[in-house]
Amino acid sequence: MQENNYGYRRKAKRTMCLLDGSYKTIDGSDNKIKCRDISRKGAGVMTQDPLTVNSQLKIEIQTKKAETLTLEGKICWNKKALGGWISGVVFNKTLPFEIDKVV
């Protein structure tokens, strides 16, 4: 019998994490963001306000190794949860390193 993974959309396995960071809005103000999971191709992020689906986002995440990781990508989805919003981000470029080395 053939097994199918219907509905599975991610191309890379995400690593669970809880990293602090920030993103800038169009008006230039800094906002807090938390990265809850990440892969070389995308991330799940948590914000206080909703992010606009299909918009571009530039975020800076503080890794556990005390480095700043600057990422750019497109917001694919969002949903209200945990007193804020959870969004999925697909990166504009695949990260050139293994995620386990920084989170």
> Residue 19, by phi and psi: left (phi above 0), alpha (psi -120 to 50) or beta?
beta
Q: Of 21-25, 37-41, 88-92, where does mean pLDDT reach its minimum?
A: 21-25
pLDDT at 31 over 90: yes
**Domains of the chain listed by start with CATH number:** 22-95 (2.40.10.220)
Query: What would the pLDDT profile of 66-102 be if each residue is shown by its tens digit?
Result: 789 999 999 999 999 978 999 999 999 999 888 877 7
Query: What would the pLDDT profile of 52-61 be if each residue is shown by its tens digit?
Result: 999 999 999 9
Q: Which of 35, 84, 90 is nearest to 64 (CA)?
A: 35
Radius of gyration of the chain (CA): 14
**What is the reported pLDDT for 35?**
95
* Three-state DSSP state, 101: helix
pLDDT at 47 over 60: yes
Query: What would the pLDDT profile of 3-17 be if each residue is shown by its tens digit?
Result: 333 344 556 788 999
